[in-house]
Structure 1
């Protein structure tokens, strides 16, 4: 093995509202083990940018330097022959306002880089797309992949439920619960109409659903099938869950819209402790004492806001 081989790094750009700040940063911590105060993050972890509702694009870094001349010297190595390409200057960066590179200048830089690549430029249907981005005073160039807003396609479901999570929040919660899907078995034992299940299944995560309400389990199955996905949803109380799981996602029923009691909420947490190593709880109330009484340690948390409505998202292990 070549010890001098450079470790591949990736740069991700983010877009989120102020209300989403806390949730987005918790997702960052889960996916990358770090968070960034700017809307860029550099990591050696490679994930599909379409997994996150907040990531806009990913650059697989090929070259880096202190300025554009360093990048121009490096891209001379790219030999595409008959294949086509385009270069995109990523708009999101951490430059001070006085150093911002405006639209016209970005287009000039794109063309200048393109002139140093051996291949044919095609801005409409290129075989290869490259990105250039500035971050932390450095310039980075590499293969470019744009995020697809998969969650957006899941907004219109055949079956809806007024208190269900939004698809954006549900997708972020799934990433918090299952940052590395390989070999992980997950369960949503209070799945409702399946908002979390749809997001998880669309990412290829091994997850099953369950609910005590036959109306919502049938709705969950309908929603899953509507998006061409396959997933098991069973009817029954959480007390009857017999298998063990790596993680459970529980949008805790609350008595604002249901007749669930504090004792019943506590029972849900106790059963989750029995069959799951890790639990991500979504709650509208502060239930730290209840979580700890059920035998969990709280390892991370955030708040998801929507107007005046607040949800706490709590990681328990």
Structure 2
């Protein structure tokens, strides 16, 4: 039997479509400095599951053991006092068949665990939720938190155009650029209507927006205000930026509203090198050579697809 409290651990489960798997894994690597071949990962890094469009839920580990009996014994320490509780068995769909546990057995485990906890169980409206999961040949039990899918509230914006990033991709890009926001200053110097800005600001990331098109900067400010967020969006080219930032996020201009030649793109990257230590680029074209000429080194990358349309996301230092 083992009680894991010396170093806090967290277990996260993931869900993504085949088209978004590469993006999901890049976000995972950005958060945890590693990835998992399954839709589950254990880490000492604490991330709010609602930040990610791919994390489904999180268990903050209280107890761990080699056998379920170890967990049954340890949960007897829990006294809920006047709070009701519920236990959820976390099912991981992509584990090997022999590692999966059938529905009736999962419900029985939940009841057995609940019977050992001092307090009143309430499956419909509990004050507190615990999670139990089997992973890597061990059992883990702890506080459960579900993803609230915040980004779904941002899909419909007052100002939109068709080539903007989807809300899910924009949120993942913001996480890849700024996985740990404390003390980090970010800029989106080609912010368009602010899809990335809205997602970043909603997660507490300190980010500023900028664009050369007055119509889209106006739209960006309107979208930010619509969701009761506060962020600074200025008008002008990246060449006029004089402040230094920890990271820049650039969705390379390519649409009808912003005609960017290869020379323009190279200029944007060159100035990004001047004002930022890290760069996350979203591009529909291969621009590796251009990025290297600007003085960046590509450290990680992924491809995200929507139908026949693909975007590449590059992490550069």
Instruction: Report if TM-score (shorter chain) is over 0.5.
Output: yes
- Say whether residues 1:125 and 2:128 are aligned partners: no
**Is the CA contact (8 Å cut-off) linking 1:95 and 1:135 kept in structure 2?**
no
Alignment-derived partner of residue 12 in structure 1: 12
Identify the residue that residue 49 of structure 1 maps to in structure 2. Answer: 49
Q: Is the 8 A contact 1:64 1:139 kept in 2?
A: yes
Q: What is the alpha-carbon distance in structure 1 between the residues aligned to residue 140 and residue 117 of structure 2?
A: 16
What is aligned with 1:310? 310
Runs (4+) of structure 1 exceeding 3 A deviation are: 255-258
Q: TM-score, normalised by structure 1?
A: 0.96
Question: For structure 2, which runs of at least 5 residues remain unmatched after alignment?
Answer: none
3-state SS of paired residue (1:305): strand
The answer on 1:228 being equivalent to 2:228 is yes
Q: Once the 2 structures are TM-superposed, how far is the Cα of residue 255 of structure 1 from its aligned partner?
A: 6.3
Q: How many residue pairs were aligned?
A: 314
> How many angstroms apart in 1 are the aligned matches of 2:99 and 2:183?
46
The 8 Å contact of residues 9 and 60 in structure 1, kept in 2 or not, is answered as yes
Q: CA separation in 2, counterparts of 1:177 and 1:65?
A: 36
Cα distance in 1 between the residues matched to 2:44 and 2:94: 19
In structure 1, runs of 5+ residues without a counterpart are none
Residues 137-173 of structure 1 show CA distances to partners (whole Å, capped at 9, x for unaligned) of: 1111000000110111110101111110001000010
TM-score by length of 2: 0.96
CA distance 1:153–1:5, shift in 2 (3 Å): closer
Deviations 1:191-221 (A, max 9, x none): 0000000000000110010000011111101
Q: How does 1:178-197 map to 2 (within 5 A)?
A: 178-197=178-197
1:238 equivalenced with 2:238 (yes/no): yes
Q: Contact 1:40–1:93 (CA<8 Å) still a contact in 2?
A: no
Q: Distance in 2 between matches of 1:175 and 1:238?
A: 22
* Structure 2 residue 285 is the aligned partner of structure 1 residue 275: no
SS at match of 1:38: coil
CA distance in 1, matches of 2:17, 2:94: 17
The CA distance in 2 between the partners of 1:94 and 1:140, in whole Å, is: 18
Q: Tell me, yes or no, if the aligned pair for 1:269 and 1:294 is still in contact at 8 Å.
A: yes
Separation (CA, whole Å) in 1 of partners of 2:86 and 2:272: 50
Q: Does 1:212 align with 2:202?
A: no
RMSD: 1.4
For 2:35, the equivalent position in structure 1 comes to: 35
Matched, 1:295 2:295: yes
Q: State the Cα distance separating 1:100 from its structure 2 match.
A: 2.2
